[in-house]
Amino acid sequence: MRLARESTVRCVAVFRGAVQGVGFRVTAKSIATNYPVTGYVANLPDGTVRLVGEGEKECVSVVIQRVLHTMQGNIRDHSENWEPATGEFSEFEIRRVAR
């Protein structure tokens, strides 16, 4: 586990709609890898997708906004929970199912 810097944040975003089985996770990972953001994107058993991103707030926010824009036809709504980063991630990955 890496130590999180004070200026880093964590956002847990949950996307609802037709978000599973449409390339959502691959798209989110593709977007996230263009920014200094770590974390994961995963399907949840209830049909939603969770994205956990850590990094500078501006970068994490841009990743979420780009996902929202790119997948807008599939997203009915979403929620975001912002908190201090934990530093637990070393990269951004796709998880099959959130644990």
* Number of compact structural domains in the chain: 1
The residue segments making up the domain with residue 72 are 8-81
Q: How far apart are CA 5 and CA 23, in angstroms?
A: 32
Q: What pTM did the predictor assign?
A: 0.91
Q: How far apart are CA 98 and CA 11, in angstroms?
A: 15
Residue 98, pLDDT above cutoff 60: no
DSSP state of 68: H
pLDDT of residue 7: 82
Predicted confidence band of residue 16 (pLDDT cuts 50, 70, 90):
very high
90 domain-assigned: no
Catalytic residues: 25, 43
Residue 55, pLDDT above cutoff 80: yes
For residues 12 and 89, the answer to whether their CB atoms sit within 8 Å is no
15 domain-assigned: yes
45 domain-assigned: yes
What percent of the chain stands above pLDDT 70?
Answer: 92
pLDDT of residue 2: 47
- With CA atoms as reference, report the closest residue to 47 among 74, 73, 80, 71: 74
Express each pLDDT in 22-37 by its tens digit.
999 999 999 999 999 9
* 5 residue type, one letter: R
CATH of the domain at 24: 3.30.70.100
Q: What is the pairing mode between strands 49-56 and 38-43? A: antiparallel
pLDDT of residue 96: 83
